[in-house]
C-alpha cells in the first residue's frame, strides 16, 4: 500500500507573471488574432444599439425602445421569412449531411485509388463555383424552353408533355433548391467524413471479417458507429449557422416564389434597398439582432444536446 501512487495531488500554480514570461511567444503570436477578433467581431457589436432607435444615417438616432421589435413581430413578411429560413436551412442541413455520409461511405468502399481520387475531385468541384455562377447554370439547365436540357430530356422520355418552370413555380422551387444545394455542397461535406473514416483502425474490419461479417454488417456495426460522433459534431456546428442563409436563396429567388424563398437575410436586404426611400437602419438592425439571438439559442441548445449525447459540449 505504501507504494500506491498518491491521488489528488495539487500542483502549485506559478504566478501569472512567470507564466506570461514562460509562454510569451505564444501570447505574442496570439495578439494579431485577439486584435482581429476585437476589431472585426466585437467592435461592430456596438451597432446593436441601433436596433433600439430609428436611424436613417442622416439624422441622429432617436431612441424608440422596443418599437422596432414590436413592428417586426407584427409584420407577416418577417414571420414568413423567419419560417422559410428555419425550414430551408434545417432541411438543407439534414439532406446535405445525410448525402455526404452516404457519399463518403460509397467512396470509402472504392478500392481503385485512382478512380476514388477522380470521383472525389469531381464531387468537390461544385463547391468552388460561386453561387452566382451556379444559379446561372441551373437557370439555363432547368429552363422550361428548348434551351433547358433537363426539361428536354424529360420531354423526350415522355415523362412530361410540357416544360416545367422549376425555379419559377412556387410548388417546384423548394425541392429544386434542395437538389441544387445537394449538388453544390455535398461533395465538400464528405471531406470531414472521409477523414473520420480513414481514422478507423483497419484491424477492426479484419477482425470482423474473421468473425464472418459481411460488407453491410461491417458498415452498420463498425463504420457508422465510428462516424456517429463526427456526424453529430457536423450537424451541431452547422445548426449554429442556419440563420445565416443568404447567398443561395438570394441568387435563386424571384418575384413569383418569394413566399417560399424569402429568408431573413434577404428580407433585410429588401427592406434596405426596396424601401423606396431612405431605409430605417434601426429596423433592419432589429431584424439582424433577432436573427443573432435565435442563432445563439440554437448554439446553446446544440451545446446542451452535445453534452447529453457525447458527454462534452462544443463551446
Partner 1 sequence: MKKLLAFTLVIGMLLSLVTISSLAADEVVKPDKIIMMVDATVVTSINGRDQFEARWEELTGIDLEIIQPDHDAYYDVMQQQIASGDWPDVLILSSTVYSSYAAEGVLWDMTDAWNNSATKNSGRFIGDSVIDGLKINGSLYGFAPARGNGCLTYIKQAWLDKVGLGAPTNYEEFLAVCDAFVSQDPNGTGANDTYALAAAGFIGFEAPFVNYLPNFYQDAYPFFIQQEDGTWVDGFTQPAMQGALERLADAYAKGYIDPTTLTNGTKDCRNKFYDETTGIFTYWAGTWGTNLKVNLEANGHDGQLVALPPIAEVDAYYDRVPPVWAITTACENPEGVFKYFIDTMLDGGDMQMLWTYGVEGTHWSRAEETILDVPYAAGQFHMLESLEKAGTAYTKNHIDPMLSLAAFAEGYENPMELTVKPEAKLSSQVFNSHSKLAKIVPTTEVMSMYNGDLTTLKNELVAKVAMGEMTFDEAMAKFETDGGLAWSNAIVDSLNALN
179 binds partner 1 (CB under 8 A): no
- In the range 76-105, which residues lie near partner 1 by CB under 8 A? 76-77
Q: Say which DSSP state 168 is in.
A: T
| Nearest distance, CB of residue 155 and partner 1, angstroms | 13
Reference 78, options 249, 218, 270; nearest CA is 270
Residue 77 CB, nearest distance to partner 1 (Å)? 5
Closest CA to 97 of 200, 185, 225: 185
Q: Is 174 in the site for partner 1 (CB under 8 A)?
A: no
The stretch near partner 1 (CB under 8 A) out of 6-14, 20-28, 71-79, 303-311 is: 71-79
Give the nearest distance from C-beta 164 to partner 1 in angstroms. 10
- Tell which residue, 305, 183, 190, has the closest CA to residue 240: 305
Which one among 172, 230, 270, 292 touches partner 1, defined by CB under 8 A? Answer: 270
Determine if 201 is a binding residue for partner 1 (CB under 8 A).
no
- Using CB under 8 A as the binding rule, whether residue 295 contacts partner 1 is answered as no
User: Should residue 146 be labelled a site residue for partner 1 when binding is judged by CB under 8 A?
Assistant: yes
Task: Give the list of residues 6+ apart from residue 176 with CB closer than 8 angstroms, or none.
Answer: 138, 142, 166, 167, 252
* Radius of gyration, alpha carbons of the chain: 26
Among 126, 163, 187, 189, binds partner 1 (CB under 8 A): 163
Give least dist CB 282 to partner 1, A: 11
Q: Are 247 and 131 in contact (CB under 8 A)?
A: yes
Q: Which of residues 58 and 199 has its CB atom nearest to partner 1 in the complex?
A: 58
C-alpha cell at 15: 504566478
Give, in degrees to the nearest 5, the angle at Cα 31 between 41 and 34. 15
Beta carbon of residue 208, minimum distance to partner 1 (angstroms, whole number) = 52
Q: Is 160 in the site for partner 1 (CB under 8 A)?
A: no
**Residue 238: helix, strand or coil by DSSP?**
helix
Amino acid at each position: 500500500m505504501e507504494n500506491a501512487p498518491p491521488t489528488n495531488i495539487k500542483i502549485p500554480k506559478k504566478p501569472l507573471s512567470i507564466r506570461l514570461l514562460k509562454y510569451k511567444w505564444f501570447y505574442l503570436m496570439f495578439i494579431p488574432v485577439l486584435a482581429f477578433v476585437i476589431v472585426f467581431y466585437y467592435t461592430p457589436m456596438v451597432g446593436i444599439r441601433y436596433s433600439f432607435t430609428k436611424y436613417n444615417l442622416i439624422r441622429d438616432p432617436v431612441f424608440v425602445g422596443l418599437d422596432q421589435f414590436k413592428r417586426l413581430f407584427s409584420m407577416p413578411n418577417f414571420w414568413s421569412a423567419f419560417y422559410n429560413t428555419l425550414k430551408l436551412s434545417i432541411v438543407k442541413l439534414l439532406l446535405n449531411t445525410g448525402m455526404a455520409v452516404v457519399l463518403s461511405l460509397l467512396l470509402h468502399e472504392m478500392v481503385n485509388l485512382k478512380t476514388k481520387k477522380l470521383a472525389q475531385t469531381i464531387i468537390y468541384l461544385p463547391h468552388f463555383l460561386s453561387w452566382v455562377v451556379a444559379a446561372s447554370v441551373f437557370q439555363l439547365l432547368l429552363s422550361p424552353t428548348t434551351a433547358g436540357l433537363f426539361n428536354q430530356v424529360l420531354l423526350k422520355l415522355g415523362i412530361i408533355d410540357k416544360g416545367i418552370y422549376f425555379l419559377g413555380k412556387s410548388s417546384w422551387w423548394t425541392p429544386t433548391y434542395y437538389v441544387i444545394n445537394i449538388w453544390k455542397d455535398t461533395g465538400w461535406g464528405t471531406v470531414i467524413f472521409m477523414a473520420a473514416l480513414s481514422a478507423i483502425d483497419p484491424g477492426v474490419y479484419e477482425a470482423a471479417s474473421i468473425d464472418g461479417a459481411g460488407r453491410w454488417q461491417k458498415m452498420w456495426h463498425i463504420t457508422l458507429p465510428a462516424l456517429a460522433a463526427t456526424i453529430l459534431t457536423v450537424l451541431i456546428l452547422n445548426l449554429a449557422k442556419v440563420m445565416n442563409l443568404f447567398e443561395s436563396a438570394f441568387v435563386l429567388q424571384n418575384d413569383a416564389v418569394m413566399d417560399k424563398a424569402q429568408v431573413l437575410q434577404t428580407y433585410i436586404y429588401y427592406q434596405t434597398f426596396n424601401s423606396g426611400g431612405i431605409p430605417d437602419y434601426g429596423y433592419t438592425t432589429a431584424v439582424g439582432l433577432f436573427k443573432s439571438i435565435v442563432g445563439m439559442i440554437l448554439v446553446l441548445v446544440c451545446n446542451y444536446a452535445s453534452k447529453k449525447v457525447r458527454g462534452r459540449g462544443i463551446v
